[in-house]
Amino acid sequence: MKPQLLIPNFISSMRVATLPLFIALFSFENAAVCLALLVFSAATDYFDGYYARKMAATSKFGAYFDAATDFALTAGIFALFTLNGIYPIWLVILIAAHFAQFIVTSFFSKKLYDPIGRYMGSALYIGMALTLLLPTQATYLFVQYAFLGFFLVSLASRVISLGRRNTKN
């Protein structure tokens, strides 16, 4: 494997490596450092793709690995929030369903128009940050239902895009 292909995957791996640290710090109620870890994770999410494109080091494996690390981190953090009574289990299930619909629809078509889905990772990062910054019931409800709305619109846009693509063929 070419060395330049390993670098974006290594950058993606750093997101998963932050999860145990986030869990430990959250248990000590250290929201400020948890927020710093989220910023670091968001930066790695940006730079893995940036580096892969800049250095012509993109690969199908890398794209799926990036999505899998995003899923592992966000699902892990929301599972932690759920275990601490902040969110209901359906939110973690919805995050898993979003990842599954991305994987399934990507097998049917490489590029699907999904104006919401491409921002889902950002929405999840914002939801995690809001949970840490504003730990109130109003925030928790906002995050839950905002994500539900994002999920439904993203699912609808993927289904419509896939349907349009199939009618053209």
| Distance between CA atoms of residues 1 and 109, nearest Å | 26
How big is the chain, counted in residues?
169
| Distance between CA atoms of residues 43 and 152, nearest Å | 27
What's the number of CA atoms in the CB half-sphere (13 Å) around residue 167?
A: 6
Q: What does 79-132 look like in DSSP terms, one character per residue? A: HHHHHTTSS-HHHHHHHHHHHHHHHHHHHH-S----TTGGGHHHHHHHHHHHHH
Q: What is the pLDDT of residue 62?
A: 86
Inter-CA distances, 154 with 85, 86, 109, 157, 158, Å: 27, 24, 15, 5, 6
- Written as tens digits, the pLDDT of the chain (169 aa) is 566 668 898 999 999 999 999 999 999 999 999 999 999 999 999 999 888 888 888 888 888 888 899 999 999 999 999 999 999 999 999 999 998 888 887 777 666 556 677 788 889 999 999 999 999 999 999 999 999 998 998 888 888 877 777 676 5
Domains observed in the chain = 3-168 (1.20.120.1760)
| Distance between CA atoms of residues 138 and 169, nearest Å | 47
Q: Does the pTM of the predicted model rise above 0.85? A: yes
Q: What is the pLDDT of residue 140?
A: 98
Residue (of 128, 113, 122, 116) closest to 159 by Cα position: 113
Q: What is the pLDDT of residue 114?
A: 65
Q: What is the pLDDT of residue 30?
A: 93
Q: What is the pLDDT of residue 1?
A: 57
Do 113 and 161 contact (CB within 8 A), yes or no? yes
